[in-house]
Amino acid sequence: MPDAHDTAGRPRVPLTQLQRGQRARLDAGCMAGLPKNDQCLLRAMGVHEHCELRVCKPGEPCIIEVERTRVGLSGPVAQRLLVTPCDMGAGDATPTE
């Protein structure tokens, strides 16, 4: 089971709980709930540990943006991806690069 808190003790939440425009960070072990192959594929798509993501659209599918790449995730994948929110409100995004 993945840890419910990040290394700084802040709570991790499933990606599905984030709102549109909200930013979050993926920490080590946050993909532990996913099969290994899916973890590898996500990393290859740019969704890797220590990256910052922005929620473009919550729900099913959940659309996130990481390093200028938009990735659509089905509900079960988003549910198992634990993230640490960077801010709490739905805010406007700025480029990550």
Tokens of 17: 């709980």
| 50 forms part of the interface with another protein (CB under 8 A) | yes
Tell me the closest approach of the beta carbon of residue 58 to another protein, in angstroms: 9
Q: Which residue in 13, 63, 86, 91 binds another protein (CB under 8 A)?
A: 63
With binding defined as CB under 8 A, does residue 30 bind another protein?
no
Q: Which two tokens stand for residue 22?
A: 């909200």
For another protein, the closer CB: 17 or 20: 20
Per-residue b/e over 25-63, b at no fewer than 16 CB within 10 Å?
bbbeebbebbeeeebeebeeebbeeebebbbeebeeebb
Taking CB under 8 A as the rule, does residue 49 contact another protein? yes
